Chain A
Amino acid sequence: MTPPPATDIRGLLDRYERPLVRYAQSIVGDLESARDVVQDAFIRYARIISGEVGGDDAMQPARTTNEAEAVSEVALDPSDTRHVEAWLFTVTRNRALDHVRKYSRIIPMPMPEERMSEEPGPDEELASSDAADWLLKLLDALTPNQREVIRLKFQNDLSYKEISDITGLTVTNVGFLLHVGLKKLRTLLREAPLDAIPIRLRTAL
């Protein structure tokens, strides 16, 4: 599908709103906040391509006190439709992380280890016959950044380079996270009892 022109706001919304909301939700947790985040990203986009605000400003990295977490600035290039997509993902991600940082001060989120100990892990959920649900539970066993790059790669068909631009990770790091994440998923699949694995997933063993 040909991406819409950069000035076609409605076309861009139609094309990207769902993937972006899903991506934002994977970061912020709740749907309404995810929608707010995506709306903000699109408003930002509209204002930048109209020249009302500068593109560099829009690509400010996620605000954080930890300099090491800051991602490099990338200006919006509306002439490159692939870049527009990556830009929208980047701004969505930054806004979503802002949101998480803000509210995590108020509502402490469980650490991944804690959550895994409290919730049924993949081994306990083998009864599920739905491959998608089952796979999503497997993903929970990965680290957050492994999950994120896997989602960006396989759910949104982004390249290593685009994922690197979005996350601020190096391309090498993106490759490493995907490598380790995929390997871990395969290991988890192998360790699960065969008869509990959805048939669709058994082919990966």
Chain B
Amino acid sequence: MSYDDPKFTAYALNELDANECAEIERAILVQPQANAEIAETREMAGILRETLKTETAPALCEHHRDAVFRAASIAGKAANLPLENVVVTGQPAWWQRAGFWQLATACLVFAFGVYAIGVSLGGSGLKGDGVVQVRDVQKVQIGNLAANDDARIEADPSLKVPMVSTREGTPSVATDFNATNTIQPGVVSVPNDLVDKLQPIATKGPHVVDPNDPLASFKARADIGKKSPVKAIAPLAISPHEQVVLRADNGEVKLTGDEANRYFSVREYLDVRWREASSLHEGSTYAELSRIFRHESYADGIHRFVMIRCPSIKVGVSFVSKENKEPEWPLPADTKIRTISQPYFEPEFGN
């Protein structure tokens, strides 16, 4: 056996059993240089252990941990299994934090009813501390719904329901939202394929997006106004066997848990993308921009930059032109940004 055999490395790293160690030790006797190799391997291993462990190891953010605790809590209770140290308290969800409901309340024009009806888990109910009790409650009424022309659907602040997705790991079907694995109290948006179902029960109106805080306005209210289809927002948490019923005076639409969960868009995901977009500034290069945004040009000469990972987020950009003429796309990688707008949010569901 040559001392260049991987077994010598395994020996140096204490990965061999007694028989294999004996074999290596016999080989060392006839290959003295093997000892030096083993010593060098151990030295290198020691340095790697020491230095690699100093590499930054970031923690999860609070909202990630909250999501885990919520999932653990709801799953544990569903199975009647008390998970240790799983207490969902303290950190309020985004829609429970100060400021959010002042905005929401101001926008609230009518009440909205959502019923979460447990089926095979024996029902769903709510208790304090943000923990969903999934036993012994048959129905939860979140509110009442009566619509008028400028009505908006609002999340109910009294509801504390963690979201449980049956599709974690699988992106949302909505092309503009990617609910990748992030399970958070959030919003349910109703995309085009459900609009037909929902239109008969809702009035219509313009969708309002605050350009200064599109994410906040998006999550805080969904208009069911005159022009756009229904966009319902509610802090729904649907276990796989539950059902959500959106109700109005003249009809209702039932969504199964699985179906409803596909339409959760996730604030945290958007926040991440938002921060990513906001990292660009005047003086950033076209290459830096292109890592985050895709250039799109249209026949009428309009150019747009659409966020690659969240096409609903866009920015307006002008560039420093060396020759003071219309640029040719794609621009040279080192072209500097002259001005860049605040990223704005343009929901793509609905018409």
List the interface of chain A (C-beta within 8 A of B): 5, 7-11, 13, 17-19, 21-22, 25, 31-32, 34-40, 42-44, 46-47, 49-52, 95, 98-99, 102-103, 106-107, 131-132, 135-136, 150-151, 153-155, 157, 159-160, 172, 175-176, 178-180, 182-183, 185-186, 200-201, 203-204
In the assembled complex, the Cα of A103 lies from the Cα of B180 at a distance in Å of: 12
Q: DSSP class of A's interface residues: helix, strand, loop or mixed?
A: helix
Contact sample, A vs B, 29 pairs, CB 8 Å cutoff: A8-B83, A10-B84, A13-B60, A21-B59, A25-B58, A31-B58, A39-B64, A39-B182, A40-B169, A40-B180, A40-B182, A43-B183, A46-B68, A46-B75, A106-B308, A132-B55, A135-B47, A136-B51, A150-B48, A150-B52, A154-B48, A155-B48, A155-B49, A155-B53, A175-B7, A178-B6, A178-B9, A180-B6, A204-B44
* Docked-complex contact B56 and A46, CB < 8 angstroms: no
A13-B65, A204-B40 given; name 15 further pairs at CB < 8 Å: A18-B59, A21-B57, A38-B64, A39-B60, A39-B182, A40-B182, A43-B181, A46-B86, A50-B76, A50-B83, A131-B47, A136-B55, A155-B53, A176-B6, A178-B6
Cβ 8 A contact of B67, one of A11, A21, A43, A157: A43
Is B85 interfacial (CB 8 A cutoff)?
yes
Interface hits, B56-90 → A, CB 8 Å: 56-61, 64-65, 67-69, 71-72, 75-76, 78-79, 81-86
Given contacts A35-B60, A178-B6, contact A135 B15 (CB under 8 A): no
Give min CB distance, A153 to chain B, whole Å: 7
Asked if B51 and A131 make an inter-chain contact with CB atoms under 8 angstroms apart, the answer reads yes
CB-CB under 8 A for A99 and B180, given A5-B84, A50-B72, A154-B45: yes
In-complex Cβ contact of A107 among B68, B71, B82, B308 (8 A): B308
Contact assessment for B60 and A38 in the assembled complex, using a CB-CB cutoff below 8 Å: yes
* Residues of B participating in the A interface, judged by any CB pair closer than 8 Å: 4-10, 13, 15, 40-41, 43-45, 47-49, 51-61, 64-65, 67-69, 71-72, 75-76, 78-79, 81-86, 168-169, 171, 180-183, 269, 272, 275-276, 291, 308-309
Partner of B68, one of A5, A7, A43, A50: A43
Taking the closest CB of chain B, its distance from the CB of A122, in whole angstroms, is: 14
How far apart sit A22 and B78, CA to CA, in the bound complex (Å)?
32
- Whether B181 lies near A154 (C-beta < 8 A) is no
What separation, in Å, do the CA atoms of A8 and B59 have in the docked complex? 18
Q: Which of B48, B57, B84, B308 has the most chain A CB within a 10 Å cutoff?
A: B48
